[in-house]
Chains A and B, each alone.
Chain A
Amino acid sequence: MTPGRSGEQAQFAASLHDMLADAEVPAAARRWAAGDRAPGLAVWRALAALGVTALAVPEHDGGLGASVADVAVACEELGHHAVPGPVAESVAAVPVLLAALSAGTEPADLTAGDTADGDTAGGDFAVRGWPVPWLAGLAAGELIATAAMPPWLPWAVDTGVAGLVLLAAGDTVRLAAPGARYRSVDPGRSLSQVTGGQVLARGPTVASAIARALDAGALACAAQLLGAGRALLEASVRHAGLRTQFGRPIGAFQAVKHQLADVAIGLEFAGPLLEAAAAALDEDDKHVARDVSAAKVACTNAARRAARTALQVHGAIGYTEEHDLHLWLLKVRALAGAWGSQAEHRARVMAAISAPASADGADRQTTVAPPTVDPPPADPPTAQRPTAAEDPAVGLPTAGQPAVAQSTAERPAAAGEPAWS
């Protein structure tokens, strides 16, 4: 059912599936929601043993240097099993961010600074070599990372299990300290507001790295949604074959069959969009923004249809916390709005496909970056010169405070620059 996958990818997905099917993930997700992360962290260690946490880490940093397509295959399986924890963050976005910055920390490219002054005007600024140990920790499965990346990701997920919490916005990556916590509709996620601390890197290269990490995270989130949608369809088919009413399995009724067929169609045609988006990221294709957003829109729609239909087919039992179905239903609801809303992704697709350059047919479409805030609105000018000790608390845009999109004129990645996407 996934025609674009290689044999190795299919095998990898199958081995992940086998491991997760035996790992009692629903029970671990319930414990996670109740505050006991130990069984869930055991699942994460098993995932690390299979290489999942090392996929997006470059080989010279101790990882597997796998393709984004491989990362998507893994995230789809993690969504299929409703694995709790910061999946898109720790498996995709943060390693992609750190890898991009690690590649750029050559002194010739990024000017070294020691957290303090340094004239950064027009140049890049970074703590030399800073991403390397974290990449190694992620690859080894010893570190779980999370991040807030406003405005797509205003809160950091699951800071309680994360050894590394970042705030990445605009052209700046900082260490971040978790603050107020919020409940997520998905009891397997917790949301924390974060306060920006030490600046780790800043500059045009950093803006490109953040944009790439946002796309990688949105893609991973779309993959999780697709996997969750498939699990919901499978559960619904099973239930419809077992549950009997009026003397027949309810799956024999055409009204039920046709709804589930529509779910299958939605999932089937979202898959190739996901694969194309992963390929675009791997090839640094000019269509990355368009393809990632198309995949996120389609996977979200397919998963939501799967969720609505699954609940309808299960009936009242599906509406309970006793039944495991709710783990997937609520995760789909949470992920549908994370990593960019449907409206934002649709706007990004439209910006790409209706760009004037595409009118003559062709291949010169301009890149559309994810929305960025630069600098965060509350960031006073002194934040240009932060120190670990006295960095002004850089607030995030709060719910009522719209993020300020950077204007095109200010955007460091100007047209004609090699696209990060």
Chain B
Amino acid sequence: MSDDPGASSGQEPGSSPGRFRAEVRDWLRAHVPARPLPSVDTAEGFAAHREWEHELAAARLSVVSWPVAYGGRDAPLLDWLVFEEEYYAAAAPVRVGQNGLFLLAPTLFAHGTAEQLDWVLPPMATADEVWAQAWSEPDAGSDLASIRATATAADGGWLLSGTKTWSSRAAFADKAFGLFRSEPGAQRHSGLTYLMFDLRAPGVTVRPIRQLGGRTGFAEIFLDQVSVPAADVIGEPGDGWRVAMSTASHERGMSLRSPGRFSAAAARLVELWRQAGDPANTALRDRVVDAWIGAQAYRLHTHATAARVAAGGSLGAESSLGKVFWSELDVTLHETALDLLGPRAELASPEPDRDPGLAGNLEPDGDAGLAGRWLDGYLFSLAGPIYAGTNEIQRTVIAERLLGLPR
């Protein structure tokens, strides 16, 4: 396999993935902060990550596959994969705007009006506006169709009421998008409307929720008669389920989890094995190899899928195959690294706001820095099999829609 899959997997003529890769690599080398930014799930860290996005956008690297008019480069999908590989390989900061970039934007490209694209996308590309997703509710998780939050028609717009929860980034984000029940009495998938709303609007209360790692990665959103203009409906009122499912497929499949994340983690895992692995421990060696093979398989599969999509193919229920695969792979990669670290794997990333006396542990190359990064990644990976549709739901989708087993 060549190191540039784009070179041998249906790259469009005219584009030059090698030069683009070099540009991205050079830019990242010059700009990625030497010391990791503070956690994105703190107010200070959120602001620092927003600042980083400004830098990315100024180099026109924040949304390379978008049209030029919205801040992108009109780059082919395979270039986007190249960007992602380089981005993760450079250990660049987490994308604070990822919910908007990878969930809302694809939905808008498919269903949005020209005005919505003009209004939403440019500030999203620069992270001047950061979006949170508002899908789940206390009683609507995997069973998303049991949504209860309502949108009531009023004065040419809508009034939103109800509770959304597990809303990633909502603690510090500016805006949010989600599904609301707009036809009283309508059941399940019908009578739902896809809406965007302002998290700072009157009637919105956000309650940050500390995650098991101690950070406020998501939040609960309470909506009490929040007024939203009709122009903020995506697609037709009542057609929200269909609109949302196009986003769900993006979340499960290509967009949210580019292979770069896993390829970079696998490379770091192999490096960790080189430094800390006991050659006699072939059981652990084999786990490292299997994790590397999994990351390679996901990368190759994604490139092949991207080539197919670029050639006019579509992505449907098969995105469920990928969702289960990458989420299990992510856990495996990180668990293997922690097992390699042995007792050091207990060392968590320091949180200066909670334990100011431990600031010395911030040294990124120190034991705590190394182990803490793997531990953070591990805790994050544990959420993968749950969010974006639990893996149990995905397996049922695979069995019924791809294999044709009886319902």
> Looking across the interface, which residue of chain B has its beta carbon closest to that of A350?
B289
Known: A4-B9, A264-B403, A265-B321. A276 touches B1 (CB 8 A): yes
Contact partner of B395 (CB less than 8 A), chosen from A257, A272, A353, is: A257
Instruction: Give the contacts of B259-297 with A (CB-CB under 8 A).
Output: 270-271, 273-274, 282, 285-286, 288-290, 292-294, 296-297
Find the A residue at minimum CB distance from B10: A4
A residues less than 8 Å from B400 (CB atoms)? 257
User: Per a CB cutoff under 8 Å, which of A248, A264, A287, A343 touches B1?
Assistant: A287
Contact A3 B405 (CB under 8 A): no
A contact residues vs B (CB 8 Å cutoff): 3-4, 233, 237, 240-241, 248-249, 251-252, 254, 256-258, 260-262, 264-265, 268-273, 275-276, 279-280, 283, 285, 287, 291, 294, 297-298, 343, 346-347, 349-350, 353-354, 359, 362-363
The complex places the Cα of A332 from the Cα of B303 at a distance, in Å, of 29
Instruction: Provide the B364-398 mask, 1 if CB < 8 A to any CB of A, else 0.
Output: 00000000000000000000000000001011101
Is B3 on the interface with A (CB-CB < 8 A)?
Answer: yes
B308-342 contacts to A, CB under 8 A, are 308, 318, 321, 324-325
Q: List 23 A-B contacts (CB under 8 A).
A: A4-B304, A233-B403, A237-B404, A249-B406, A251-B399, A258-B396, A258-B399, A261-B394, A261-B395, A262-B395, A264-B403, A265-B321, A268-B321, A272-B297, A275-B300, A294-B293, A297-B290, A347-B285, A349-B289, A350-B288, A353-B289, A359-B274, A363-B3
* B300 x A272 contact (CB < 8 A): yes
Q: Please tell me if the beta carbons of A276 and B300 are within 8 angstroms of each other in the complex.
A: yes
In the complex, A240 Cα to B399 Cα: how many Å? 11
Residue with the greatest number of chain B CB neighbours at <10 A, chosen from A258, A285, A298: A258
Complex-state Cα separation, A275 to B300, whole angstroms: 9
Whether the pair B395, A349 counts as a contact (CB closer than 8 A) is: no
- List chain B residues, Cβ under 8 A from A261: 324, 394-396, 398-399, 403
CA distance A268 to B296 in the complex (A): 13
With a CB–CB cut-off of 8 A, which chain B residues contact A283?
Answer: 2, 8
CB-based nearest B residue for A267: B321
Complex CA distance for A266 and B331, rounded to whole angstroms: 16
Return chain B residues, CB-CB under 8 Å to A268. Answer: 301, 318, 321, 325
Which chain A residues lie closer than 8 Å to B300 at the CB level? 4, 272-273, 275-276
Q: Please indicate the chain A residues that have their CB under 8 angstroms from the CB of B298 in the complex.
A: 269
B286 touching A343 by the CB < 8 A rule?
yes
Asked if residues B304 and A272 are in contact (CB atoms below 8 Å), the reply is yes
Interface size on B, residues (CB 8 A): 45
Contact assessment for A273 and B399 in the assembled complex, using a CB-CB cutoff below 8 Å: no
Given B1, B270, B289, which contacts A297 in the complex, CB threshold below 8 Å? B289
What CA separation (Å) do A343 and B290 show in the bound complex? Answer: 11
Question: What 12 new A-B contacts, CB under 8 Å, besides A260-B399, A346-B286, A353-B292?
Answer: A3-B304, A237-B403, A252-B406, A258-B395, A264-B398, A268-B301, A268-B325, A275-B300, A276-B296, A294-B296, A350-B288, A359-B274
Asked if B324 and A265 make an inter-chain contact with CB atoms under 8 angstroms apart, the answer reads yes
Return the contact of B270 from the options A252, A280, A353 (Cβ within 8 A). A353
Q: How far is the CA of A197 from the CA of B298 in the complex (A)?
A: 46
> In the complex the two chains form, is A264's CB within 8 Å of B301's CB?
no
Residues of A within 8 Å of B324, CB to CB, are: 261-262, 265
Q: List residues of B whose CB falls within 8 A of some A CB.
A: 1-3, 8-9, 270-271, 273-274, 282, 285-286, 288-290, 292-294, 296-298, 300-301, 303-305, 307-308, 318, 321, 324-325, 392, 394-396, 398-400, 402-407
Q: Looking at the assembled complex, report how far the CB atom of A222 sits from the nearest CB atom of chain B, in whole angstroms.
A: 12
Contact A251–B292 (Cβ < 8 Å): no
Given A4-B304, A276-B1, A350-B288: A258 and B392 within 8 A (CB)?
yes
Residue of A nearest to B398 (CB): A261
Q: Is the CB of B289 within 8 A of A346?
A: yes
Most chain A CB atoms below 10 A, which of B270, B273, B399, B406: B399
Report, nearest first, the 5 A-B pairs whose CB atoms are least far apart.
A257-B399, A272-B300, A3-B304, A261-B395, A261-B398
Does the CB pair B1–A280 fall under 8 Å? yes
Chain A min CB distance to B328 (Å): 9
- The answer to whether A279 touches B406 (Cβ under 8 A) is no
- Tell me the complex Cα distance, A254–B391, Å: 13
Chain A residues with CB under 8 A of B304 = 3-4, 272, 275
- Report yes or no: A346 in contact with B308, Cβ–Cβ below 8 A: no
Bound-state Cα–Cα, A265 to B300, Å:
14
Residues of A with C-beta under 8 A to B293? 273, 294, 297-298, 349
Residues on B with beta carbons closer than 8 Å to the beta carbon of A265:
321, 324-325, 398
Question: How many Å from the CB of A283 to the closest CB on chain B?
Answer: 8
With known contacts A346-B289, A354-B274, A269–B405 Cβ distance under 8 A? no
Write the nearest CB–CB distance from A348 to chain B, whole angstroms: 9
Q: Given the complex, which residues of B lie within 8 Å of A262, measured CB to CB?
A: 324, 395
Could you tell me the distance in whole angstroms from the C-beta of B290 to the nearest C-beta in chain A?
7
CA distance A3 to B289 in the complex (A): 25
Question: Are B296 and A273 neighbours in the complex by a CB distance under 8 Å?
Answer: yes
Q: Is the CB of A354 within 8 A of B403?
A: no
- CB pair A291–B292 under 8 Å, yes or no, is no
Q: Which residue of A lies closest to B271 (CB)?
A: A359
CB-CB under 8 A from A233, the residues of chain B are 403
| Contact across chains for A257 and B9 when beta carbons are under 8 A apart | no
Chain B residue contacts of A252, Cβ below 8 A: 405-407
| Cα distance A240–B405 in the bound complex, in angstroms | 7
